[in-house]
Structure 1
Amino acid sequence: MDHFPAERTAVVTGAASRRGIGRAAAERLARDGWAVGLIDVDEGAIKELAGELTDSYGVPAAAVGVDVSDNAAVRDAVDQLEERLPQLVALANVAGVSSPAPYLELTPVEWHRVIDINLNGVHFVSRRVAESLVRGGGGRIVSISSVSAQRGGGTYSKSAYSVAKAGVIGLTRALARELGPHGVTVNAIAPGPIDTDIMGGTLSDERKAALVEELLVDRVGTTADIASAIAYLAGEESGYITGQTLNVDGGLYMH
């Protein structure tokens, strides 16, 4: 898709948390003129956000409360969003959970919880949205991985999280190959330490200082840092970029 329609929709998953990347991404996309379709397990919070986006930015917004690991519910949710919003052009897969459980204490229940939400959820939403993007002539899929996928942990979450986020990178590359002929680009973002609740709650000054020691910049990342990367990769001008993982990590991966 060389040119996006003037009225276009981006779906964002996992946008309910007030300190999360998903909310920052939804706000940035709305500010950039996108209509926004929101999916989150917290139905009350996500519907409240939809109203706030319309009030603040004057764009259409709609929300459906759904668990991204439920494939049938995801398909129904996207159907509902499409009925209420302009043409679907972009998807930001942000929904995810942390998992600090050490490997020797990792239970099958925790393993499946993390894989189901962080990897299967990305697949289920991407699979349904891809149908609409292909039918519409193209679009963008952007998924949140993590520097933990590349380093095997080392931030807050451990093995199950790292495996799921590595799977997101593999899925991104595979979808880029398969969907490219249909005009759909597919990319991932690998955040480093970002001050969100997925890092285990609000970061103290002491913990921020410890994290910065591993970085090449002098601060921990913000949700706005990731939202701007999502906005670029979801935008019209990124059409020659696909199958890539963009590290937005303050230099952590190369440190």
Structure 2
Amino acid sequence: MGSLAKKVCVVTGAGRGIGRAIAARAASAGGVVVVADIDRAAADEMAEALGGDATGAHVDVASRESVDALVGGVVDRFGRIDVLVNNAGWDKAGPFVDSDPADWDRIIRINLYGVLHTSRAVLPLMAEQGHGSVVNIASDAGRVGSSGEAVYSATKGGIIAFTKTTARELARSGVRVNCVCPGPTDTDLLASFAGEKLRNALVKAIPLGRVGDPADVANAVVFLAGDEAGFVTGQTLSVSGGLTMV
């Protein structure tokens, strides 16, 4: 049996990229995975690929109503939520002084409010159950900053602080909350603003000599979500190949 055996795991933004890798790793660890994504077709395709009890679901994490509908549907079907992975996120890179406030709003609504919405819906359920594990996906940009990603970095820093606070508030209820901070990872998001020159520069800067693979992040998430990390809460784990050591 895997470390998430029979645990009901909701993963947001799981239709592609890091979220897709997390969903796959959670399923391989025995979890019953709800693949939640704003792209319902991608979510359903991934759930079908996982097989078993995996199911696809639509969610727009920027909408509290959409999140509440997702959580209600999961509870109606499975009776509980054991693991929540807040992975959904978005960014638009560029110098802050040239940025569009409309983009600020979208980044904040998805990255930060998305985590607030899902946490507000799920944490009371976990507290009532007397158990549960939340893993929030932030970024090393939220720990050390990242040029061209000022607002994104701000939201990810907020997620790190929010993780610590909710971990303190929910610990006596048997609920753990932790945070994973990926460094540069081989996803469509990285490809959208990192050309070959920047990618090569990142590889040279990373002590382990490569950018991350989504599976690297997924392995860390599943560890923190599972019972092996039963005495770990309020922590921030960097998965960056040694790029940041703070």
TM-score (norm 2): 0.93
Q: Size of the alignment, in residue pairs?
A: 244
- Superposition map of 1:1-255 within 5 A: 7-17=6-16, 20-54=17-51, 58=52, 60-85=53-78, 87-154=80-147, 157-201=148-192, 206-254=197-245
Give the Å deviation of 1:48. Answer: 1.7
For residues 167-204 of structure 1, give each alpha carbon's deviation from its aligned partner in whole angstroms, at most 9, with x where no partner exists.
00011011001111100111101111100011133966
CA contact (8 A) 1:221 1:250 kept: yes
Q: 1:125 to 1:201 in 2, by over 3 A?
A: same
Q: C-alpha distance in 2, partners of 1:175/1:105?
A: 34
For residues 195-229 of structure 1, give each alpha carbon's deviation from its aligned partner in whole angstroms, at most 9, with x where no partner exists.
00111339666543210222111111100000000
CA contact (8 A) 2:164 2:235 kept: yes
CA contact (8 A) 1:63 1:81 kept: no
CA contact (8 A) 2:139 2:182 kept: yes
Q: C-alpha distance in 2, partners of 1:142/1:149?
A: 16
Runs of 4+ deviating beyond 6 Å? none
Q: C-alpha distance in 2, partners of 1:165/1:46?
A: 24
Q: C-alpha distance in 2, partners of 1:61/1:121?
A: 22
Q: 1:208 to 1:6 in 2, by over 3 A?
A: closer
Structure 2: state its 5+ residue gaps: none
SS at match of 1:201: helix
Q: C-alpha distance in 1, partners of 2:61/2:123?
A: 15
Give the Å deviation of 1:40. Answer: 0.8
For residues 72-116 of structure 1, give each alpha carbon's deviation from its aligned partner in whole angstroms, at most 9, with x where no partner exists.
110111111222236311111110012203111122211110010
RMSD: 1.8
For residues 124-173 of structure 1, give each alpha carbon's deviation from its aligned partner in whole angstroms, at most 9, with x where no partner exists.
1111111221121111000111111112114xx51010000000001101
SS at match of 1:142: strand
TM-score (norm 1): 0.90
Matched to 1:121, the amino acid is G
